Structure 1
């Protein structure tokens, strides 16, 4: 083997020097730190944006659900109860059907067990349902002392004899006489009240929004503790109940010239940022 071949073999089998290895390790370390920082930053942005999107979605759904139900509320059935430390609730009775009555036992006429209304096959009426005629206050809705409410016992199947031209005779649970007649002969049908409550969460200062139903009619507006377990509608509500200027909802009662108005203004907090709804819901139904 000549000297040139030996020199080439020596050159081809030579390894990395210590300086080269340290340099490569440093470069790889810098690249790893840069890439990991980029990945962590992107992951944090994704998590935060997902949290914001979740709160936006649930808040939008809750406000839209409340708006739809409030618009279909029985006239003068809205009432609000606020505890500056723990909750604010709005209660109302969603209308399931409404129509015109033809004959009803109304003062000063005698009490009776039956009344006649006009109904279509699509009207959602059923046994044990309640009816109202000319409710002017929330007491007329929730308290039967001044007779504005009665309960249905039976009625003929819609579209079958003895119904004539959609005239249906309702039988009441007991002998009934309504206190006043409706100027437009309106009659409303509903089954149960509904409450939306902004409640202080078990931990922290934020509020949750829950929907309650199935607890029946009460003369005095019930508190969340006296209602059935509510359905969670939204979280991360940041309103302060002790601040009258920061309540999540305000009720403007109806008058002779104005319909009832609910001002929804829940404020939500997510990742240190706050956004607030300012939504007015007009209850368009009248007695």
Structure 2
């Protein structure tokens, strides 16, 4: 008599249980792998945002007018004057107010405009007058292939000369601040003598001079500090901040930037 093979009830139940266990393990493995990929992507996005923020701040610090960097008392804002160009003056009247000076052009075809300054590390750059290191009005360095005369809009006296005869041309003041989760660059607000009044004077919209640099900053995390130059080192700007995404992942960074420009 031929015997027939078949599953018993116990074998069937065992097979179902083992299959269920394998299925659960497979689902958990796939789920954790997918979650790991999502977490890696979120961390990478935070790292990319951090690169953008650090580069935006560092680049502006490196190309700031010497002596123009300053930090508000709460360490939340960094103000500076961006450099437009640097050249050398060849004639400078020191006796009193002067209507002109002579300098080397930076281009044979294009003129350059901005506030002129000589040895700007002395004096208050944010309260310009007719007798200080920075001109009160924007002036124009003409184009040319030889020495050119800069005719000033108003008479001015520079109190100090530069050892290397450097003449800086800079733009109007700008400020980097955090507001809520956003990082902004402010411009077009003019000269504010007292840093305690700076934040109240900053524009509140893009149309008036507020530009978005980045977001995802943890509220109140951005902190600036500034150390003036000494005989042994250049001026130093330090900043730190924390990024936070919608899933709660955080990334904290701190960076130091040397101000390479010398007067």
Pair 1:215-2:189 in alignment: yes
Given that 1:105 and 1:176 are in contact with CA atoms closer than 8 Å, whether structure 2 keeps it comes out as no
1:165-204 equivalences in 2 (<5 Å): 165=146, 167-201=147-181
Counterpart of 1:282? 258
Change (3 A) 1:182 1:188: same
1:101-120 equivalences in 2 (<5 Å): 101-106=89-94, 108-112=95-99, 114-120=100-106
Pair 1:144-2:128 in alignment: yes
Given that 1:76 and 1:137 are in contact with CA atoms closer than 8 Å, whether structure 2 keeps it comes out as yes
Given that 1:154 and 1:170 are in contact with CA atoms closer than 8 Å, whether structure 2 keeps it comes out as yes
Counterpart of 1:236? 217
1:138-186 deviation digits (Å, cap 9, x = unpaired) = 61x2211343222345554334xxxxx3x12222222323233223321
Normalising by structure 1, we get a TM-score of 0.71
Q: Which has the larger radius of gyration?
A: 1
Pair 1:38-2:38 in alignment: no
Q: Name the SS of the counterpart of 1:286 in structure 2.
A: coil
Counterpart of 2:206? none
Q: Name the SS of the counterpart of 1:217 in structure 2.
A: coil
Q: Name the SS of the counterpart of 2:210 in structure 1.
A: coil
Q: How much has 1:93 moved relative to structure 2?
A: 1.3
Out of 250, 258, 272, which is 2:225 matched to?
A: 250
1:67-90 deviation digits (Å, cap 9, x = unpaired) = 22212221110110143xxx7011
Q: How much has 1:266 moved relative to structure 2?
A: 2.9
Change (3 A) 1:261 1:197: same
Q: Return the alpha-carbon distance in structure 2 between the equivalents of residues 239 and 170 of structure 1.
A: 45
Gaps of 5+ in 1: 1-10, 160-164, 202-207, 241-246
Given that 1:211 and 1:233 are in contact with CA atoms closer than 8 Å, whether structure 2 keeps it comes out as no
Q: How much has 1:91 moved relative to structure 2?
A: 0.8
Given that 1:152 and 1:170 are in contact with CA atoms closer than 8 Å, whether structure 2 keeps it comes out as no
Given that 2:234 and 2:258 are in contact with CA atoms closer than 8 Å, whether structure 1 keeps it comes out as yes
Cα-Cα RMSD? 3.5
Gaps of 5+ in 2: 204-208
Q: Return the alpha-carbon distance in structure 2 between the equivalents of residues 29 and 224 of structure 1.
A: 65
Normalising by structure 2, we get a TM-score of 0.77
Q: Name the SS of the counterpart of 1:142 in structure 2.
A: coil
Q: Return the alpha-carbon distance in structure 2 between the equivalents of residues 35 and 122 of structure 1.
A: 71
Pair 1:226-2:171 in alignment: no
Given that 1:249 and 1:266 are in contact with CA atoms closer than 8 Å, whether structure 2 keeps it comes out as no
Given that 1:197 and 1:211 are in contact with CA atoms closer than 8 Å, whether structure 2 keeps it comes out as yes
